[in-house]
Structure 1
């Protein structure tokens, strides 16, 4: 079993039957196990920046990354393995607020999520990343694979309304 400790941006594993937890990574985000369970992918901020990220692939047994790829995104990317385990799909945000310091999302001064997200794929054979979508507006909220191997993602705008009722 593996999990992400969000407060500290770290990934850990613990035997399913109990035992000591083992650190997989520090300063990481969006951990995901490979389809065969042998590797784990995670994203790390480079130099504490929220604009530059690194995709790292390490053995689930532990150890140093086997591969790393740089990603530039204005908010924390999400990542998933392809069903065949030969590539990583990830979300990149551009066109938002430059120099944002919030690692959770890209926020405008009014608190509304900004920027445009698109899907990219990084093949693990060493090839260059490939942009899969080319949207000019809106954002992705999530991505995953359906049981038949098709990519599914949620897309739209982030809005919020707050109503304060006082002296009721």
Structure 2
């Protein structure tokens, strides 16, 4: 019995991914981190005005920012958590340490602009008596600085440092 004659199958090389995806992902990572910075900065600025009497106003059906009482420092831990997350995201998606710079600079500029801007009535958006806003600006910028410092201490190539 003879075996049927078959033609040799040509081996095809595996299809290569488009080399430009790396650049697209890096640009997208920077853009998303900048958008996240703008959104979280405005949320943090809104939360700096939150007072304990605002909860009573909320239950009465009015705005929680119209109440009085002690300041609630909710903006401070939110600034730390959000800025750490933005820092991690920017550096991880781009694979570059410089990606921490644009969100850090933008966040700081937004906060300083809010601290120096006057309303139509002549009031500052962030007054000198709003300690929550001042501490939020300090701690939020320090969060970026500490993340940057920790990146400086970390070696760039883990294989060279002996860790896996």
TM-score by length of 2: 0.24
Structure whose residues are more often helix by fraction? 2
- Structure scoring higher RCO (CA < 8 A, sep ≥ 6) equals 2
| TM-score, normalised with respect to structure 1 | 0.24
Q: Which has the higher strand share?
A: 1
Larger-gyration structure (1/2)? 2
